[in-house]
Chain A
């Protein structure tokens, strides 16, 4: 089946929904491809509260947050996506959103031809005016970590366990050790406790948690679950089902100290040890990838190195707050719609050259691990928000942004932690060469 759409969005999670709505509001016809049977993405299983304070000014659960965007999409025509009714006259249809669920995007070409498949329509080829990549992320696994030992049943990533418990009603284990004290690990400690399991401990490789203080208190401390810092799991035991793990303290280079090894009996090991942006389609299309974020290199419009291909959400960079995802996705969606509407014009006049004009590189230094966007093109707006993360805890921190060697922004922060995505706004009229976001410790 062949189709056309002004904007094709890959993924109907929080990023894809917000991008789709924003694109439709610019008058674009939008087709969202979703591999799951429902829209909402990871938020569907995040049934805890804590979402939306920034975006909606109120605290919502994950499904509620998602529902607000699904509702926005539905208002713009998205039926609950199981049909693939035709799209109206190509080019002049009113702004609409269609969500194709149970549909897996298989490939993306630099010319923005997306192939996807589902059981209703078979293989679908969509010519897209612009594409927004919003595939989200996946979890780092035990295999990738290289934890030694046996390979029994009972080793789950926290997200996989969360889905089983919260959406499907299955209990993956009774006695757990959790490795990783990011928010997902902490939240699963409470969830499993509430579901009647016993969480023996949460181990954290680093000397600090990347989770929110609120989650440390309300998910772990409230239930007297020990949280051990600078501690890791060195070995898995049990032939068929997990029977226990060996844990050990780690030295300052994060290497396990053999003398500190001790056995902890458990039937389940939950891993919450990092999220990796999913970018197989992005790579396949040949877009430049930032080795630090694992996502595409983008400009302030969230356009990748491929003209008309945009990226947002956790596929672009792993976010801490979904509120930021929504904002970022709106930027991507809006510019995707603009690209789709103007590309004919562009190609006939200035063509692709425009994309290479006036590019300013954005880098990080000092404690700054990365900055998104990595490039500023010719920004139409007066200000640009730079998002970044630090690699270690600074308490307090001094943040300095330079462009062409001149300081264009500076700020002191009481604390900066790797778990939090930071942002700083710069004025585009001050840009005068490479932009550097520098983080360092500040005097107490």
Chain B
């Protein structure tokens, strides 16, 4: 019986000088260890057991992207905060810049789901949108 999956995950993600990098594939629960042998825009992926793993490995190697979800303060809201997300993934390197910007933002109720909170978050060109509606304080009994 095999119970060591997790232990395998313990292996650190290595950045070795010979351009090879190792990732845990996140596409499915199998969690293949992907080895990306990189050069330019067409790195070679090995260790994957399916096509999706290859796509993920390349993307993660070339340009890792992440969603950012958080919340912003609401003025006049029925709730103190309104949850928000980046409309799509942004560069992983931009996460903290985005988070910092979100922290100081305020929005005025009412807020609709999908409403633009910021047009371009942290210079990524991606919109920040509301994911919770808040009709405002006067609308609750």
Contacts and interface: CB of A to CB of B under 8 A. Distances in A.
B70 A207 contact: no
Contacts of B49: 414
A52 to B, nearest CB: 12
Interface in B72-101: 73, 79-81, 83, 85, 92, 95, 99
A441 B3 CA distance: 11
A49 B140 CA distance: 27
Contacts of B13: 221
Given A49-B69, A213-B24, A394-B2, A417 B141 contact: no
A64 B24 contact: no
A207 B1 CA distance: 13
A63 B29 contact: no
B67 A49 contact: yes
A417 B83 contact: no
Interface string A152-167: 0000000000000011
A378 interface: no
Interface in A62-96: 63-64, 67, 80, 82-83
Contact of A169 (B4, B30, B81): B81
B71 A47 contact: yes
A212 B26 contact: yes
B107 interface: no
Interface in A194-228: 194, 204, 206-209, 212-214, 216-218, 221-222, 227
B23 interface: yes
B131 A229 contact: no
Interface residues of B, number: 41
Contacts of B26: 212-214, 216-218
Given A61-B131, A207-B7, A227-B10, A47 B29 contact: no
A420 interface: yes
B118 interface: no
Contacts of B79: 167
Nearest to A83: B141
B104 interface: no
Contacts of A218: 26, 66
Given A207-B3, A229-B10, A166 B71 contact: yes
B43 interface: no
Contacts of B141: 82-83
Contact of A415 (B29, B69, B83): B29
Contacts of B3: 207-208, 392-393
Contact of B29 (A44, A420, A441): A420
Nearest to A82: B141
Contact of B81 (A48, A82, A168, A214): A168
Nearest to A60: B131
Interface in A378-435: 392-395, 414-417, 419-420
B69 to A, nearest CB: 5
A194 B71 CA distance: 11
Nearest to B6: A208
B45 interface: no
Interface of A: 44, 47-49, 60-61, 63-64, 67, 80, 82-83, 166-169, 194, 204, 206-209, 212-214, 216-218, 221-222, 227, 229, 392-395, 414-417, 419-420, 441
Given A169-B80, A213-B27, A227-B10, 7 more contacts: A47-B132, A48-B67, A64-B113, A217-B24, A218-B26, A221-B24, A227-B9
26 contacts: A47-B71, A47-B85, A49-B69, A49-B85, A61-B85, A63-B131, A67-B132, A80-B140, A82-B141, A166-B81, A169-B80, A194-B99, A204-B6, A207-B6, A207-B7, A208-B9, A209-B6, A212-B26, A213-B9, A213-B25, A217-B26, A222-B92, A227-B9, A415-B28, A417-B5, A441-B2
Interface of B: 1-7, 9-10, 13, 23-31, 49, 66-71, 73, 79-81, 83, 85, 92, 95, 99, 113, 131-133, 140-141
